[in-house]
A and B are shown apart, each in its own frame.
Chain A
Amino acid sequence: MTKENKKKDDQIKERSFGIVGVIWKKISVPLTSIFLALFIGGLIMAISGSDPFEAYGALFQSAFGDINGWGRTLEKATPLIFSGLAVTFAFKAGLFNIGTQGQLLMGAITSAYLGFAITGLPAIIHIPLALLGGALAGALFGSIPGLLKTRTGAHEVITTIMLNYVAINITDYLSNGPLKEVSSSDVVARTPPIEASAEIPQVAGLPLGFFIAIIFAVFVWWILEKTTLGFEIRTAGLSGTAAKYAGIKVTAIIVITMVISGALAGLGGAVETQGIVGRYQPGFNTGLGFDGITVALLGKVHPIGNIFSALLIGSMKAGGAKMQFVADVTPEITNVVQALMLFFVAADRVVRWIIRQRETDDEGLTLTTGWGN
């Protein structure tokens, strides 16, 4: 059979399964990946003497069992969507923003400051104002690696990592010094709580922040896919030289991308401050930015995919405590499961081989071709 015939054959087969077949083809690899990762994670639990069914049962129950569980899961997923979007956006331009953590921290503390320092505003103005402040702080912090890259050629992977540590120190200093909560009994380094008017409320037991995150995911998708800027970003990401020949100002695109990416990360921090923590406290946002890398990769570097991967990882964070309580399994096992999921999603050859599915042309996940100067 020639290759062309084979392709036709495939198309006929696909048609015969109808819409179900098409959907199955799209989600079979991710689903199988999740299943395989959970399976291996379960094996590790079983080897170390715990009951995986009990553990997963508790996790699932706690993350999705009732409205409170859903609330917890969405809460945990919200900042992850933002940091995932930040990483995704930069990836599209061929930039690897490992600095989401730092940008997120700057956003979180700025929105906390605007949240407690400004009083007497109605919520409808105060909430977006503090969010905007967080986004601006993240954008400002994100623009530094962008400018450094275009002006001096310093690679963003390194500058963003370094700036993460700088951000940790800046926020530590601020919450320990100028912005520290003044009270007689309190020796904890943290800012005062934000005003009630800056708090993002819950809607029917579910955090409103999550829905803001979804709006932003769609917005990012729209920018990337439907606007000239998005087209230029994606072109620059595919090939810098090609973009240059096409008349795209690549240096400007790099800076703009980093600014938007930083703004998204900053928003993640702001939403966390205004929706969950209620103030800035060092150590409360640890890992949220780094998890964005996993979220983005699991979501196949697609803005909408980010929502689902953030939900997945969020549910593990939400159910981890219960899992430890019921089945005495350390919640860190979910890290192992996440790594395995990432592996299987990226190594779709393996998964396709397991479920005997033929490779499609558009699949496969490639982000980088080297350090790409």
Chain B
Amino acid sequence: MTDKNNNQDNKFLKHLKKNWAKYTVGILLIVAILYNYDRDPKVTQAVLASMVRHSTPLVLGALCGLIGERSGIINIGIEGQMLISAFAAFMTTAYTGNIIFGVVLGILTGMFMGYLLAIMSIALKLDQIIGGTVLNILALGITSYFYQVGLSMGQKILPIPLGKLADLPLVGRVLFNNPPITYTTFILVFVVHYILFHTKWGLRTRAVGEHPRAADTVGVDVFKIRYVNLIIAGGVAGLAGSFLSLEAVGSFERAMTNGRGFVALAVMIFGRWTPFGAWGAALLFGFASAMQTQINFSGALDIPYQFISMLPYLLTIVVLAGFVGRSRAPAASGVPYEKEG
């Protein structure tokens, strides 16, 4: 009995030793936030809410990326998937006046883009980096070509406060007073985690991403797993696109994704190809973006705004270099699978 306890203690200590930096940063952040909240609740809430807003498309983009990569397909076309979905969602809403149609079409468009990527990288065995690049350029071209100036969609999606939860101090406004796609994102993080690590499908997905040949020998259909995963991942990116045009901005602008698809890739790697990791990374990035907006807005620091705008990007580099180090991608990620015989 005592032996077991000792073991557990050791495990805990080891874990603490390994991850002390993470916990320290986390605790410091929480203390800083609480301190600020005590001083200026309004601004703190605004910054945190803005953090969540900034992080939503990144979480979704990163989920899209990691679902694909866990099954062995690198997706650098997230940017394009998001852009064209944002466009489809906006156009549908503008023409039908129905936001739900818009979101559905956004997701379907994303799924179709995922399907295209799957055809290119699985059936045609195209280099996956090229496949993603094709999606990115194609999306930019198609959306710009068919874009019509002056189209509008009316009201963007509004936040839905979740009853009494929304009245809680601090977290209420930040977590429980959001528009529906943001709530969906929270839920998706848990769902994807559950599917990846606690279901048969997830096990197969990870097997296919690590060692497709072995998975194949025990009867897993490598191609099917990859196809389905990429299509689902595309749907998630489609949701991110819908978020951008329908929930965040309320219109479509040329190249409105503005690099978020690539940042989402950073978030994915930063989060070590796990949903919760990606969520944390996206929140950190969102926090930096929110702080940047806040500092620029308040003019509290006498620094040219460009240097403050660099913050989120520099932060990503520093954290990537300092804390994460060498993260390991799924082994078969990027390698086309050829059946033997």
Contact = CB atoms under 8 A, between A and B. Distances in A.
Interface of A: 44, 48, 96, 98, 148, 151-155, 157-159, 161-166, 169-170, 172-173, 176-177, 293-294, 297, 330, 332-340, 342-343, 346-347, 349-350, 365-373
B130 interface: yes
B137 interface: yes
A163 to B, nearest CB: 7
A162 B313 contact: yes
B180 interface: no
A333 B133 contact: no
B314 A162 contact: yes
A168 to B, nearest CB: 8
B329 A98 contact: no
Interface stretch (B9-17, B19-27, B331-339): B331-339
A172 B306 contact: yes
B226 to A, nearest CB: 15
Given A349-B124, A365-B127, 7 more contacts: A154-B324, A162-B266, A176-B306, A333-B141, A333-B145, A335-B144, A366-B127
B304 A346 contact: no
9 contacts: A158-B270, A163-B313, A169-B307, A173-B307, A332-B140, A336-B137, A336-B145, A340-B138, A373-B328
Nearest to A171: B306
Interface residues of B, number: 53
A369 B120 contact: no
A368 B137 contact: no
Contacts of A157: 76, 265
Nearest to A174: B306
B50 interface: no
Interface string B310-337: 1001101100111011111111111100
Contacts of B307: 169, 173
B249 interface: no
B130 A330 contact: no
A47 to B, nearest CB: 10
Contacts of B320: 148, 152, 154-155, 158-159
B157 interface: no
B309 interface: yes
B160 interface: no
Contacts of B131: 346
B57 to A, nearest CB: 15
B239 interface: no
B284 interface: no
A342 B145 contact: no
A169 B128 contact: no
A330 to B, nearest CB: 5
Contacts of B310: 165-166, 169-170
Given A158-B316, A371-B329, A170 B137 contact: no
A347 B262 contact: no
Nearest to B137: A339
Nearest to A157: B265
Given A155-B320, A332-B144, A371-B334, A343 B134 contact: yes
A153 B325 contact: yes
B130 A370 contact: no
Contact of A336 (B133, B138, B269, B333): B138
Nearest to B325: A153
B259 interface: yes
A335 B134 contact: no
Given A158-B265, A371-B74, A342 B124 contact: no
Interface in B197-211: none
A98 B262 contact: yes
B321 A148 contact: yes
Contact of A158 (B74, B269, B309): B269
Contacts of B314: 162, 166
B263 interface: yes
Nearest to A41: B141
A152 B322 contact: yes
B74 A370 contact: yes
A368 B74 contact: yes
Nearest to B332: A370
B146 interface: yes
Contacts of B304: 173, 176-177
Contacts of B168: none
B191 interface: no
B42 interface: no
Given A152-B322, A163-B317, A369 B137 contact: no
A173 B306 contact: yes
B333 A162 contact: no
Q: List the 10 closest pairs (A to B, CB-CB), nearest first.
A: A335-B141, A332-B144, A153-B326, A336-B141, A370-B334, A339-B138, A173-B306, A339-B137, A152-B321, A158-B266
Contacts of B331: 370
Contact of B269 (A151, A155, A330, A342): A155
Nearest to A334: B141
B337 to A, nearest CB: 12
Contacts of B266: 158, 161-162
Interface in B274-313: 304, 306-307, 309-310, 313
Among B127, B141, B146, B330: residue with most chain A CB under 10 A: B141
Contact of B126 (A161, A339, A347, A372): A347
Nearest to A152: B321
Contact of B309 (A169, A338, A371, A373): A169
A367 B265 contact: no
A118 B129 CA distance: 43
Nearest to B141: A335
B306 A161 contact: no
B141 A332 contact: yes
A165 B259 contact: yes
Contacts of A172: 306
